[in-house]
Structure 1
Amino acid sequence: MFKTEFYRKALFQEGIGLNTIQVEEIEGLEKKLNQSFLRIALNYGYVSRKDWKSTLIKNGIEFYQFDYSNLSQIPKGDVIASNLHRFLDLLAFPIHQDENNLEIVVADPSDGININFVEEILGQKVTNILISEDMDILKALHVTYGLEYLDKAVFHIYDKDRDVCAIETFTKSQLIFIGGFITLCLSLFLFFPVSVAIGLNLLLNVLLFFSITFKFLLTLYGSKFEVSKKVSIEELESISDEELPNYTILLPVFKESEVIHKLVYNLKNLDYPLEKLDIKLLIESDDEMTYNAVKNMKFPCVFEPLIIPYAQPKTKPKACNYGLYFSKGKYLTIYDAEDIPDNNQLKLVHSLFKKIPEDYVVIQCALNYFNKKENLLTRLFTLEYSYWFDYMLPGLDNLDVPIPLGGTSNHFKFDKLMELGGWDGFNVTEDADLGLRAYAKSYKVTVLDSTTLEEANNDFFNWIRQRSRWIKGYMQTYLVHMRNPAKLLRKVGIKGFFGFQFFIGGTFFTFLIYPVLLLFLLLIVFLKSQILDLLIFWSPEDTSNQILAYFNVFFPDWLVLVAIFNFAVGNLIMIYVNMIAVFRRKAYSLMLFALLNPLYWLMHSISAYKGLIQLITKPFYWEKTNHGLTKSTKPHSV
C-alpha cells in the first residue's frame, strides 16, 4: 500500500508553488464540479502536466507504464463502464482485482478521498496503489471502457435512420438511375448525335447559369444585412456571470502538435466564467504526436484531454460524436485548433438564444482568416470566406432555406443536437449534412455577426487536399438526401428543396462543369482562328473549312453565343461577388484580387475531380489538412 506521507500541501504548494488563494479556488471548484483536486488543477490552468510530473519525480515517485495493447477489464469491469464518467473524474484505473487484492493506478498519490470513492464503487479495499500520468490513465479508461460510446459515435445515425447515413455512397436505385441515364444518352447519341450534343450542352449551360445566379442573388440579399447587429452592446453588458450556463467546447485535433500552444493561448482569451467552461480536447488514441505534445506542455492548459479509442472511419464527426457523451454544457460549439474566436462570442450566442424562438437550435458564426495578406492564395481564400459567411449565409438565413453549417463556430443547443443524433461519422462535410437534417425536422439555423479567425491555407497542395474533401462531402450530402427526392421535398418544402439543389448540388456541379465549358471555348477560339490553317498547311485547302463546318453542325452559332455569354457573365458575376465581399470588413486592399477568381475556380475544379474520384474509391477518407504552416505571427484585422 502506498504510504501517504506526500500530502497535498507538499505536492501542490511546496512542490509546484501554488499559493493559498489558488488552492482555495481549486478546492472550491472541486466541491462545485465534483471532480478531483488534480483534475481541476490540470484542466483549469493552474498546473502544467510537465511540472506535475517533475514534482512527483523529485519526490521519488516511479511511474507505472500501461501496455495499451494488453489491457483487460477487471471482474467488476461492468461497474466501471457504467461509472466511467466518475472514474475519469477520479483519475483512477483499477488494474487488478481478485478476492483478496485490489490494485489501482492513480495520478495523485495525495488524493485519499477519491481513493476511498473507488473502494466504495467496487466494494473492496485497495491493497496497492501505483502512480501514472493523468493522460495515461484517461487513455486506459477510454480504450478499455469507452467502447459502447465509441459504437454510438460511429453508428448512431445509421442505427437511428440509415436513410440519412452516408455509410452507403451510392444506393442501388441511384446506380440504376445513373447507369440508365448514361446508357440512354449514349443510345440516343447513336441515332440523334446532333440533337443530343446540342441538348446536353444547352442543359449544362442553363444549370450553370441558374446556379451562379442563385448565389449572386443570395449575396445581394445578404448585403442588406451587412451592418445589422443581432445582439446590442447594452444586451451584452446586461448579462451577469451567474446567469450564464455551462458551455461545452469540442476541440478535435489530429497530428496538430504545432498549433497546441496557440490553442492554449486563444482559449485563455475567452470572456466566460472559467468554472462554466467544459472544454474537451479530442485526441485519437493512436495520435502519439499530439498526445505527447499535450503531456509535455510547459505551461498550464484550460482543457480536458479526451482520448478516443481507435475505430474507422477516422473522421472529425466521429471524434466529435464521442465527445458528446462526455459533454456537460447547455450549449456546445466546435473550434479547430488554430481558431481565434471573438472573446465575447459565447456570451453573444447565449444572449441571442434567449431572444429568438425556441425552434432555433443552431447559431452559426462567421469564419475569416488572420493571415489574409500572406500570399496570393490566402487573399483569394479570404475573399471567398468573406462573401460566403458575410453575405451568402445571411441571405440563406433571411430566406429561411437550409443553411450548410461551417466546420467550426457553430453553436448548438446540446439537447437538440443529441436529439438530431449528432453528426454522421461517415460524412466528410458533416456540418452541411447536419444543417439540412435540422431543417428537415423543422428546426431553424441562424447566423450571428461574430467572427472566428482561422489560418488560411497558404500552400497550393494543402489547399487542394482540404478543398477536395469539402467538395467530396457536398457530393456525399447531395447523394444521401436525394435518395428519395419526393421525401426530401415533403420534409423541407419547395423553397428548401430548390435551395438545396442550387446551393449544395449547384456548388459541386459548377466546379465540375467549369473546365468543360472552358475547354469548349478554347476549342472555338482554336477553330475560328488561323491557327488551324497553319497546322494543316500540308493538307488540301478546304480541310480547315470542312472541320469548321462539321463543328458548326454540333455547335451552331447560337449555342456558341450562349456558351460565351454564360462563361463571360458567370465569371463577371463571381468577380463582382468577390469584390463586394470586402466591404463589410473594409478589406479594400483585396478588391483587385477578385479579378483572379476565374483562376481560383480552376483550382476548385481540380479539387472537385479529385473529390469525385475519392467519392468512388474511398468515400470516408478524411484527407488531412496541415495547420501551423503560416508565418504570420499575429492576427490581422479583416
Structure 2
Amino acid sequence: MALDAESEAIGNLLYDRGILTDEQLDEAEDLAEAWNLGLVEVLLGKRWLKAATIYRELAYYYDVPLLDLSETLADSALLRRYDVTEMTEAQVIPVREENGRLTVATARPGPVTLVRIIEIFGSEVDIAVATRLDISLALQSAFREEQSHEAVYGLAETDPVMSASNVILPAQVVVLYGCISLFLLGLAFAPVPTLIALNVVMTVFYLGNFLFKATLVWVGSEAQERMSQSIAAEAAMLHDDELPVYTVLVPMFREPEVLPILTNALRNLDYPLAKLDIKIVLEESDHDTIEAARSLDLEGVFEIVLVPASHPQTKPKACNYALQYARGDFLVIFDAEDKPEPDQLKKVIATFRQSSPNTACVQCRLNYYNAQENWLTRMFTLDYSLWFDLMLPGLQRLGVPIPLGGTSNHFRMDVLRQLKAWDPHNVTEDADLGIRLTQKGYRVGVIDSTTFEEANVSIPNWIRQRSRWIKGYMQTFLVHTRRPVHLARTVGLPGLIGFVFFIGGTFLSGLLNPIFWGIFVLWMIFGAQLIEPYFPPAILYMSLINLLAGNALLIYLTMVAPFRRRWTYLAPWGVTVVGYWVLMTIASYKALKQLVSNPFYWEKTQHGLSKHTAAELKAAGDEGEAAT
C-alpha cells in the first residue's frame, strides 16, 4: 500500500530538520507501506527517536502547541464530563475550557482525529499535541475511582455466583458441615465400616486420578502434532499489513531487575512492533519498578499503567484495571521475565482463523530457560513439560475445561470484556477464567508455541508460589461446584469428570498423600494385622495397585515428559519426583491454611534469583544498544 501524503510530508520534514537520516527515512517509509500504518506509528515503534521528539515535531508540523501534561495539568472535572472509553480510543482529552472554547490535546493529530474531536467535544475547540503516555495518565487520574471499582467488583456485581469474593456460600457450608457431621457420627457408632467407606472413596479417587492423567497423555499428543503443522504453515503466510493491533499486558510488582528481559523479548517478536499496544502494569506504590520502567526510555508503543491502591492487591485486579485502556483486537499476558517464541502472536492469529467461532482463548505452552540450574528447576521443568506439553492437549482433545496458565494466554478482546475478564479475588485467576469460559459456551485452544521463563531456584520461594496456585485451585473448585447441575450441563459429563480430577485432584492429592504415606509406614513397621480391619482384601489390593502401579505410572509420565522437546538429559531426574510430591504436600497444607485465614492474599514470587538472569539482562542490554 502506498504511503499516504501526510506521512510522506512528515517524513520529509523530519529529514529536512536533520532528525532522521536518509537510511532511517527509507526504512520507516518501507515499513509503513508494508504494515499499512502511518509513518508516525512506525517511528513510535523504533528506538531512533525519543517519543518526546516525535510529538514535538508533530506539533511543529501541524502548527499547534505541545503540552506537557505533567506541568499543564488537565482539569479532572472537565474530563469527567465526557466518556472515558471514547477518549481512550481516540487518544484525546479536554485540558481546559476558556470563554466557551475547549483546548483538546491529542496524541494523533490529523484530519481523522479532528473529525472525532468534533464528534466528542463539538466544533468550538483548539487543538494541541500531547504524548500518548501523558494522555493515558491524565485519564487514569481523572477516572481512578470508577475504574478501580470496576476492576475489583466488575465480575462480583454482574455475575456474583462466578466470583470468589465470597469464598464459600452458606449452602456449601451446610453441605460441608453435614458431611463432617455424618463422618463423626459414623466414627462414634460404626467406626470400622466408616473408615472402610472412607478408604473406598480415597482409593477410588486415587485410581481415577492416575487413569485420567494417563488418558490425557495418551490422547493428546498425536492430534496436537497434526494441528501444529497446519498452524505453523498458515502463520508463515500471514502478511504484516493484515495483522490486527495486539495488546500485551505485563503486570509487575517489585521486580524492576527483570523488566529489560521482557521488553527485549517483545522487540524480537515476529510482529510489527508498531501494531503492539504494550501496557506495563504497575502498582502506583511500586516506586522502584516505576522508576526502572521510565529509565529504560522505551519506545512509544510501551505505556505505563499505574494501578490505584485497593483491596485485594492481586495480579488479576491489576490486569482488569489495565484492560480498560487496551486498544487491541486481541490480548495476551506476559510476565516480566518471559521470553515468548518470536512467531507466537502470528501462530495465535492463525489458530483463531482455523478454529471454531466460539474459540475465545488460546493457551501457549510454558517452560523454563534455566532447567538445569539445580534439582528444583529440573523438577519444575519436568512438571511443566508434563502439564503443558502432554496433559493440556489431552484436555483439549477430550473437551474438558482447560485451566489456563498464568501467562501466554491469548484472548479475543470482545469476549474478555463481555465476561468481565479476571476474578480479582481468585489468586489463580487464569485457571478460573478457563473454566468460566467453558461454562459460558466458549472454547479454549492449546497450541505448540512456548514462552520460556525463569524456574524457581529456591524451595521457600517455590512453596510460596505453589501454595498460591493451589489455594487458587481450591477457590476455583468451590466457585464452580456451587451449581453442580449447571456445571454438568454446561461442560458435559467428560468435562465434569475432568474438572473434578484435574482441578480437585491437584489439591486433594497433596492433602491426602500424607494419610496414605502414614498408612504405608504403619504397614511396614507393624505388619498387615494393624490395618486389615479397615482394608478388606479388595480395597487392600486396589490400594497396593495405586501405591505401586499408580505411582510408577506417574513417575514414568514424568520421565517421558521432556522427550517431546528432546530434553532427554532430564528424564533420569523423574525418579526423584517423590521428593517433589513432598513439597507439593507442604504447599497444599499451607494453601488450605491461607484459604481459611487469608483467602485473597497474593503471595509474591520473587523473580531474578537465577544465575541465568544476569546473562539474560546482559543479552537484552546488548541487543538494545545495537537497535539504538
Equivalent residue number for residue 605 of structure 2: 625
Query: C-alpha separation between the residues in 1 aligned to 2:206 and 2:396?
Result: 23
Tell me whether 1:77 sits opposite 2:80 in the alignment: yes
Shift of 1:371: 0.8
For structure 2, the residue ranges without an aligned partner over 5 or more in a row are 1-9, 58-65, 618-628
Tell me whether 1:470 sits opposite 2:469 in the alignment: yes
Query: C-alpha separation between the residues in 2 aligned to 1:358 and 1:100?
Result: 49
Shift of 1:472: 0.8
Equivalent residue number for residue 537 of structure 1: none
- SS, match of residue 457 in structure 1: coil
1:572 to 534, 552, 560: 552
Query: C-alpha separation between the residues in 1 aligned to 2:602 and 2:71?
Result: 29
Conserved 8 A contact 2:187-2:195? yes
2:566 to 578, 586, 590: 586
Could you tell me the TM-score, scaled by structure 2's length? Answer: 0.83
Structure 1 counterpart of 2:572, one-letter code: L
Query: C-alpha separation between the residues in 2 aligned to 1:445 and 1:115?
Result: 40
Aligned residues: 594
Shift of 1:196: 1.3
Equivalent residue number for residue 434 of structure 1: 433
Equivalent residue number for residue 608 of structure 1: 588
Equivalent residue number for residue 181 of structure 1: 179
Structure 2 counterpart of 1:248, one-letter code: T
- SS, match of residue 623 in structure 1: coil
For structure 1, the residue ranges without an aligned partner over 5 or more in a row are 1-7, 56-60, 529-547
Distance 1:76 1:337, change over 3 A: closer
Query: C-alpha separation between the residues in 1 aligned to 2:51 and 2:427?
Result: 33
Shift of 1:265: 0.8
Tell me whether 1:261 sits opposite 2:264 in the alignment: no
User: What RMSD in Å do the two structures reach over aligned CA positions?
Assistant: 4.0
Query: C-alpha separation between the residues in 1 aligned to 2:200 and 2:18?
Result: 73
Conserved 8 A contact 2:307-2:318? yes
Distance 1:623 1:123, change over 3 A: farther
Structure 2 counterpart of 1:288, one-letter code: H
Taking the TM superposition and a 5 Å limit, the aligned residue runs for 1:453-492 are 453-492=452-491
Equivalent residue number for residue 533 of structure 1: none
Deviations 1:485-539 (A, max 9, x none): 11211221211111111111111111111122112222222334xxxxxxxxxxx
- SS, match of residue 188 in structure 1: helix
Conserved 8 A contact 1:36-1:114? no
Distance 1:205 1:107, change over 3 A: same
Conserved 8 A contact 1:73-1:144? yes
- SS, match of residue 373 in structure 1: coil
Query: C-alpha separation between the residues in 1 aligned to 2:510 and 2:71?
Result: 50
Equivalent residue number for residue 148 of structure 1: 146
Conserved 8 A contact 2:386-2:561? yes
Structure 2 counterpart of 1:78, one-letter code: R
Distance 1:290 1:15, change over 3 A: farther
Shift of 1:52: 9.8
Shift of 1:19: 3.8
Structure 2 counterpart of 1:201, one-letter code: N
Taking the TM superposition and a 5 Å limit, the aligned residue runs for 1:446-525 are 446-525=445-524
Tell me whether 1:165 sits opposite 2:168 in the alignment: no
Query: C-alpha separation between the residues in 1 aligned to 2:226 and 2:210?
Result: 26
From the two aligned structures, give the one with the greater helix fraction: 2
Query: C-alpha separation between the residues in 1 aligned to 2:268 and 2:526?
Result: 61
Q: Which moved more, 1:329-338 or 1:451-460?
A: 329-338
Distance 1:147 1:23, change over 3 A: farther
Conserved 8 A contact 2:94-2:102? no
Shift of 1:100: 9.2
Deviations 1:85-109 (A, max 9, x none): 168x35x783x7676998999999x
Taking the TM superposition and a 5 Å limit, the aligned residue runs for 1:238-637 are 238-298=237-297, 300=299, 302-528=301-527, 552-554=532-534, 562-632=542-612, 633=615
Query: C-alpha separation between the residues in 2 aligned to 1:373 and 1:386?
Result: 14
- SS, match of residue 196 in structure 2: helix
Equivalent residue number for residue 544 of structure 1: none
Distance 1:285 1:472, change over 3 A: same
Query: C-alpha separation between the residues in 2 aligned to 1:339 and 1:16?
Result: 37
Shift of 1:150: 2.9
Structure 1 counterpart of 2:442, one-letter code: Y
Distance 1:298 1:491, change over 3 A: closer
Shift of 1:469: 1.0
Shift of 1:596: 0.9
Query: C-alpha separation between the residues in 2 aligned to 1:503 and 1:272?
Result: 35
Conserved 8 A contact 1:383-1:594? yes
Query: C-alpha separation between the residues in 1 aligned to 2:602 and 2:554?
Result: 29
Shift of 1:564: 4.0
Equivalent residue number for residue 196 of structure 2: 198
Distance 1:378 1:161, change over 3 A: same
> Larger radius of gyration, structure 1 or 2?
1
Conserved 8 A contact 2:261-2:616? no
Conserved 8 A contact 1:336-1:408? yes
Query: C-alpha separation between the residues in 2 aligned to 1:610 and 1:265?
Result: 36
- SS, match of residue 79 in structure 1: coil
Query: C-alpha separation between the residues in 2 aligned to 1:617 and 1:14?
Result: 66
Conserved 8 A contact 2:473-2:507? yes
Query: C-alpha separation between the residues in 2 aligned to 1:150 and 1:27?
Result: 42
Equivalent residue number for residue 5 of structure 2: none
Shift of 1:614: 1.2
- SS, match of residue 425 in structure 1: coil
Deviations 1:303-335 (A, max 9, x none): 222222332222222222223222222222211
Distance 1:299 1:490, change over 3 A: closer
